[in-house]
């Protein structure tokens, strides 16, 4: 019998990393940086060990690890994005992938499904098919019920507990993007893209603070284009209810070799900058909202 949890008997599918005490109204989330590829999954796919990683946000959880020392939890996936994408609706599936018909409640017409990037993805980066043939529907059901839903239960718990404690909560959804990304007619290569679903998922002040801090560090920053935020940013960001969500995309060319999946010489400096960014953003958010002080306890 298929069991997604069996795939992660040796390594937990995801984990919450945190310091001793939460002292900031922030929650960090790294849903695409998982690097544990179950052997059963690898035996199912048509891609080699490098190609299957092309959708992976490699090392993003490590880049933002400093947030935990600043008093904020970090939820990190260990499962790979090519196995399961939690930055999608729970049943955003492509009927062409499965042997049996999908349930009536599945969202089969979203742009993400059309692009091969549903909850159980059909493709990895550069449009490569993951599987050589159709999958049993039970494969998707097990991954969604066994990992997707517990992941979101954990994320929601972190957000609710944080808001209950501080009166507000900021979710920073952490991602990376290919170095080849260019913006508009200028062809500018952004170092970061800050997404707030075009002003829907976070306050204007929070977005402006995030962009301003990165610019002040000398980075090139784009806003919402081409990445405005996925399901997580859209689903959890409710600024009118003091729940804010920002998506931060980091250019992989700043910190890794995309061909070999090895960290580059710029990794440590970028991680230090991101720790400073997190610290300064927390302080600015405190100044803007007047909520509980952020000093470590």
* Tens-place pLDDT, residues 40-49: 999 999 999 9
- C-alpha to C-alpha distance for 131 and 1, rounded to whole angstroms: 19
Asked if residues 85 and 40 have their Cβ atoms less than 8 Å apart, the reply is: no
All domains of the chain in start order, with CATH:
4-83+150-289 (3.40.630.40)
- Residue-by-residue DSSP string for 222-241: EESSS----HHHHHH-BGGG
- C-alpha to C-alpha distance for 214 and 207, rounded to whole angstroms: 11
- C-alpha to C-alpha distance for 213 and 194, rounded to whole angstroms: 11
Q: Name the pairing type of β-strands 262-263 and 256-257.
A: antiparallel
Asked if residues 258 and 252 have their Cβ atoms less than 8 Å apart, the reply is: yes
- C-alpha to C-alpha distance for 200 and 264, rounded to whole angstroms: 35
Count of beta carbons in the 10 Å neighbourhood of residue 34: 25
The answer on pLDDT for 290 being more than 80 is: no
pLDDT of residue 233: 98
Reported pTM: 0.95
State percent of the chain over pLDDT 90. Answer: 91
- C-alpha to C-alpha distance for 29 and 113, rounded to whole angstroms: 23
The answer on pLDDT for 117 being more than 80 is: yes
pLDDT of residue 236: 98
CA distances from 38 to 84, 136, 146 (A): 12, 18, 15
The answer on pLDDT for 288 being more than 50 is: yes
Task: Name the region of 7 (left: φ>0; alpha: ψ -120 to 50; beta: rest).
Answer: alpha
Element holding 262 (H helix, E strand) = strand 262-263
pLDDT of residue 126: 78
How confident is the model over 223-242, as a mean pLDDT? 97
Asked if residues 168 and 242 have their Cβ atoms less than 8 Å apart, the reply is: yes
The angle formed by the CA atoms of residues 28, 238 and 79, to the nearest 5 degrees, is 35
Count of beta carbons in the 10 Å neighbourhood of residue 132: 9
How confident is the model over 136-161, as a mean pLDDT? 97
pLDDT digits (tens, 9 = 90+) for 266-280: 999 999 999 999 999
Residue whose structure tokens are 């449009």: 127
Mean pLDDT of the residues in the chain: 94
Residue whose structure tokens are 């039970």: 138
Residue whose structure tokens are 């690890």: 65
pLDDT of residue 1: 60
């Amino acid at each position: 019998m298929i069991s997604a949890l069996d795939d992660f008997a040796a390594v937990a599918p995801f984990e919450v990393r945190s310091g001793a005490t939460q002292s900031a109204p922030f929650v960090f989330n790294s849903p695409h940086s998982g690097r544990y590829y179950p052997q059963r999954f690898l035996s199912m796919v048509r891609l080699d060990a490098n190609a299957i990683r092309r959708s992976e946000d490699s090392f993003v959880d490590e880049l933002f690890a400093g947030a935990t020392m600043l008093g904020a939890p970090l939820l990190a996936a260990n499962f790979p994005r090519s196995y399961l994408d939690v930055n999608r609706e729970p049943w955003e599936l492509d009927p062409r992938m499965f042997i049996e018909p999908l349930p009536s409640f599945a969202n089969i017409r979203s742009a993400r499904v059309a692009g091969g990037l549903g909850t159980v993805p059909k493709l990895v980066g550069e449009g490569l098919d993951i599987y050589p043939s159709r999958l049993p529907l039970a494969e998707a059901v097990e991954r969604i019920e066994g990992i997707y839903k517990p992941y979101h239960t954990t994320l929601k718990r972190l957000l609710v507990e944080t808001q209950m404690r501080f009166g507000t909560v900021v979710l920073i959804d952490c991602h990376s993007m290919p170095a080849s990304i260019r913006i508009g007619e200028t062809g500018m290569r952004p170092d970061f893209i800050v997404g707030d679903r075009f002003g829907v998922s976070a306050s204007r002040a929070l977005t402006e603070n995030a962009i301003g801090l990165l610019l002040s560090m000398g980075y090139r920053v784009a806003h919402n284009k081409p990445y405005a935020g996925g399901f997580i940013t859209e689903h959890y960001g409710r600024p009118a209810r003091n729940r804010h969500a920002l998506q931060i995309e980091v250019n992989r060319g700043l910190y890794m070799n995309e061909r070999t999946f090895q960290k580059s010489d710029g990794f440590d400096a970028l991680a230090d900058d991101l720790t400073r960014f997190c610290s300064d953003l927390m302080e600015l958010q405190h100044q803007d909202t007047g909520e509980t002080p952020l000093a470590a306890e």
